[in-house]
Structure 1
Amino acid sequence: MTEKKRRLPHMPQVGLRAQEQVRSFGVALATPTGPGEALLGRAASPWVRLLPYGVALALVATLLPVTITVFVNDYQVNGALAGALATAQTAPLLLAVTRPLQAWWVIFAADVFGGFVLLGADSVDGRPWPWTAMVVVGYLALMLALGLRESRRALLGVWLVTGAAGAVFEIVSPHRAGGITVLLFVLSGVVLLLTSTLRGRGEAERRLVEQETISEAERARRTLLEERTRIARELHDVVAHHMSVITVQADSAPYRIPELPDAAREEFASIASGARESLAEMRRLLVVLRSDGTEGERAPQPGLDRVQQLVEATVRAGVPAELSLAADLGELPPAVDLSAYRIVQEALANVVRHAPGATTRVSVRGDGEGWLNILVVNGPAAERTSPLEPGTGTGHGLVGMRERVRLTGGSLDTGPLPDGGFRVAARLPTRTTDS
């Protein structure tokens, strides 16, 4: 009793494994295959893929010698003719694994020819004619392969031709035919119907899976578009509103404060200009987010020709910055030109946010070997000056730099310096692979 109790919990697991194997075989059997492809050729298990070959080989190895023996001993057919006829009726079953319709033509012709050979042979009376038992077994196996591969129109044609051949033999010798022609006609029809139904179910399941995959991709795309629209709406409602307020206040400050010094007027004008530029950048971003990114690309993108303006705006923000921009850079690819501008922009923005007042050097030069070198180095923050955004660094700026460099095929090196400053060094190709 103890031994039986210990084994009982394992029995359901064995049953589940067997059910999974049977279900896997059923799925493989119902999965349609293409012309020239072996039956069950798309099964996951290699053993299942080899199964049709094994079954066909076993059938040929069994039916071939039995057919020869029956022809020679029971029907008194010549040995050479019996061997050739038996080979033609059984060997093409190996071809049926990959090309069942071609195999059917050979086997059907051999079966019909064998029926006429047996008609003139001795000792036919009282024995199956025109189809022997071996012919019935091999033919039904062939119908199984046909039903899993060919179209319903082809299967209907095969079945009607089989019935027509049996009817001809019934007319030629009705007292010898018996009921085996009707039996083969009925059994072949049943096998073709069952296998065709199984194949149709597999095709329906495959189409359903494809449709579900397409629907899932469409749902994911719709979700992405909805999320981008939501982000665009939030940017417009929150950030764009505040930037517009800053622009209006900066433009109206000289009129609202008559005694404002000239230096302050210039500072307010610079603030208004920067705010308007930010609003223009945000409008381009909103267009990209709301229109799959196609319309936004039509807007002109900034490049290295505007780096001087970036540095001047940084100086006005209180960061002493110097720019060294080579004049012989030539015509850069648009992606490289934009990426270089964005890298310098993000590096200077990080200095303003995290190291205000730090001395900064910006260098943009070509090395003459097809590479553009960008270097932004800042020293430590000025004394008794706190960062504008203490403790809020998310690292998204550096991530964006790395992504732009990776997309253009360049390299990026960032990190702190021993004196407390920071260094951003990027290397971008000045020629694309297409040029």
Structure 2
Amino acid sequence: MKIALPSRRALALLRALAASALPLFARAPKRWQRSSPYVVAGVFVVVLLPVTINVLTHDYKAGGGWAGALGVAQTVPLLLAVTRPLQAWLIIFTADVLGALVIHSGSAGRPWPWPPAVIVGYLVLMAALGLRETTRRLLGVWLVTGATGVLFEVFAPGGSISTHVVLFVLSGVMLALTGALRSRGETARRLAEQETISEAERAQRTLLEERARIARELHDVVAHHMSVITVQADSAPYRLTGLDDAAREEFASIASSARESLSEMRRLLTVLRSEGSGDSGGERAPQPGVDRLQQLVEATVRAGLPARLSLAADLPALAPAVDLSAYRIVQEALANVVRHAPGAATRISVTCDDRHLTVVIVNGPATGRTSPLEASGTGHGLVGMRERVRLTGGRLDTGPLPDGGFRVAARLPLDAPPALDSLT
């Protein structure tokens, strides 16, 4: 049995209907802001309801039943306007038209067809409409209001004071003002949403680029070991005497498998190192490690950043992934200091225990004599650090310091687990 899925247009219509049922200011951050439309509408209902009934009864000589029914129909739907202003307009406008017909005979020397209380309630309704409905609907409501007033003017009772022009002009002004506020709010909301989407896309692009870079570096490390395996397997029959034919075939099979693996890795790397990726030949150079941190710090000091390196003297031989990750973390941290806190005193510490290599980079606040190259950070520089630490199975801790500085601490296990699967 096939299930019919709703079309894109139907889904858009459902979303629009759901959004139209939301109260005014429903997305406001504070509770009192979300409840304020109900409070305002309630105040106008409480004030206008007795005034409308009293004016209809005493000034226009309408019957008590008509006055009560019209007063309720012309004011109470203002509460509905908080969530469904167009439906509230249909009810109130119909009641206003009916009220104009009821008070026709008693309007000599008085405002007609719209009494003052009706005008006030109608303007409140126009404000709710302007904040919610589209420009086309607002224009339709305004034209219907004006056309109805012109039609009533033809049958105006003698001696009455015409008010249809007043309502037409004031309602147009109210719709224009509130409609402009709504358009401005929607534009700001769309801009904020687009900025959020763009920021997420930039973060995702940075993540993918860093993963591709890590994959290339892992290839260089693994390719070295595979090459060694190939050479050892090819030379084993000549270095070792007394091997039988089965052993020679086994070494030949190992060498062949290693060569095939290298060929596959090179084919995969061709995609990552395509001309469009912006890679340079420098990435084919031997990958740096902890032994080159001193050179990195010296170059940073020459660039004007006061940095000091504390490197443990008894560091063991590190796994290639850990060695490279430690270097890249320090490199990225120093680059972040240069960008966001130029001139800040920076300390780099690399220590090791039996199980972990610990890398800590701490910088103070930027000096007052220089301006940062970037006013605010996007956090994308930390993405690569997290990926590298996750690759080795370690842990990363970053955050600002009370004095205005920043701290980056990475704890990398010496026995880093295989991490190629984490890149798939």
TM tier relative to shorter chain? 0.5 to 0.7
Q: Which among 57, 62, 68 is matched to residue 72 of structure 1?
A: 57
Give the match for residue 105 of structure 2: 120
Q: Which among 42, 53, 56 is matched to residue 57 of structure 1?
A: 42
Work out whether residues 100 and 145 of structure 1, in 8 Å CA contact, stay in contact via their aligned partners in 2.
yes
Structure 1 residue 81 corresponds to structure 2 residue 62: no
Matches within 5 A, 1:306-325: none
Work out whether residues 130 and 176 of structure 2, in 8 Å CA contact, stay in contact via their aligned partners in 1.
yes
Structure 1 residue 243 corresponds to structure 2 residue 226: yes
Distance verdict in 2 for CA 1:66–1:275, change over 3 Å: farther
The Cα shift of 1:158 comes to: 0.4
Work out whether residues 232 and 289 of structure 1, in 8 Å CA contact, stay in contact via their aligned partners in 2.
no
Structure 1 residue 164 corresponds to structure 2 residue 147: yes
The Cα shift of 1:280 comes to: 3.6
Q: Which amino acid is the alignment partner of residue 144 of structure 1? A: A
Q: Which amino acid is the alignment partner of residue 66 of structure 1? A: V
Give the match for residue 21 of structure 2: 36
Q: Which ranges of structure 2 fall in alignment gaps of 5 or more residues?
A: 1-16, 273-318, 320-352, 359-389, 395-424
Work out the number of aligned pairs and report it: 269
Separation of aligned partners in 1, 2:181 and 2:266 = 53
Give the match for residue 146 of structure 1: 129
- Partner deviation per Cα, 1:189-238 (whole Å, 9 max, x = no partner): 11111111111112212222222222122111211111122112222234
The Cα shift of 1:289 comes to: 12
Give the match for residue 217 of structure 1: 200
Q: Which among 230, 234, 243 is matched to residue 262 of structure 1?
A: 243
Q: Which amino acid is the alignment partner of residue 157 of structure 1? A: G
Q: Which amino acid is the alignment partner of residue 99 of structure 1? A: R
Separation of aligned partners in 1, 2:263 and 2:30 = 55
Separation of aligned partners in 1, 2:266 and 2:100 = 81
Separation of aligned partners in 1, 2:85 and 2:115 = 21
Q: Which among 77, 85, 88 is matched to residue 92 of structure 1?
A: 77
Q: Which ranges of structure 1 fall in alignment gaps of 5 or more residues?
A: 1-31, 292-352, 354-389, 404-435
Work out whether residues 247 and 272 of structure 1, in 8 Å CA contact, stay in contact via their aligned partners in 2.
no
For 1:34, what is the secondary structure of its paired residue? helix
Separation of aligned partners in 2, 1:283 and 1:394 = 33
Deviates more, 1:175-184 or 1:278-287: 278-287
The Cα shift of 1:139 comes to: 0.1
Give the match for residue 347 of structure 1: none
For 2:62, what is the secondary structure of its paired residue? coil
- Partner deviation per Cα, 1:262-290 (whole Å, 9 max, x = no partner): 39x95996698389469849957995997
Structure 1 residue 193 corresponds to structure 2 residue 145: no
Structure 1 residue 203 corresponds to structure 2 residue 186: yes
- Partner deviation per Cα, 1:126-179 (whole Å, 9 max, x = no partner): 221111110011000000111111111111110000001110121112754545
For 1:41, what is the secondary structure of its paired residue? coil
Give the match for residue 228 of structure 1: 211
The Cα shift of 1:239 comes to: 3.0
Q: Which amino acid is the alignment partner of residue 217 of structure 2? A: E
TM-score, normalised with respect to structure 1: 0.54
Distance verdict in 2 for CA 1:119–1:285, change over 3 Å: farther
Q: Which amino acid is the alignment partner of residue 109 of structure 1? A: T
Larger radius of gyration: 1
Separation of aligned partners in 1, 2:257 and 2:169 = 85
Separation of aligned partners in 1, 2:354 and 2:267 = 28
Distance verdict in 2 for CA 1:43–1:286, change over 3 Å: farther
Separation of aligned partners in 2, 1:82 and 1:57 = 20
Structure 1 residue 129 corresponds to structure 2 residue 123: no
Matches within 5 A, 1:99-118: 99-118=84-103
TM-score, normalised with respect to structure 2: 0.55
CA RMSD of aligned residues (A): 3.9
Separation of aligned partners in 1, 2:266 and 2:57 = 88
Distance verdict in 2 for CA 1:59–1:393, change over 3 Å: closer
Structure 1 residue 181 corresponds to structure 2 residue 164: yes
Separation of aligned partners in 2, 1:174 and 1:285 = 94
Work out whether residues 232 and 290 of structure 1, in 8 Å CA contact, stay in contact via their aligned partners in 2.
no
Separation of aligned partners in 2, 1:192 and 1:92 = 18
The Cα shift of 1:57 comes to: 1.2
Q: Which amino acid is the alignment partner of residue 34 of structure 1? A: A
Separation of aligned partners in 2, 1:262 and 1:193 = 95
Q: Which amino acid is the alignment partner of residue 189 of structure 2? A: R
Distance verdict in 2 for CA 1:198–1:290, change over 3 Å: farther
Give the match for residue 273 of structure 1: 254
Identity of aligned residues (%): 54
For 2:111, what is the secondary structure of its paired residue? coil
Separation of aligned partners in 2, 1:194 and 1:266 = 90
Separation of aligned partners in 2, 1:270 and 1:176 = 116
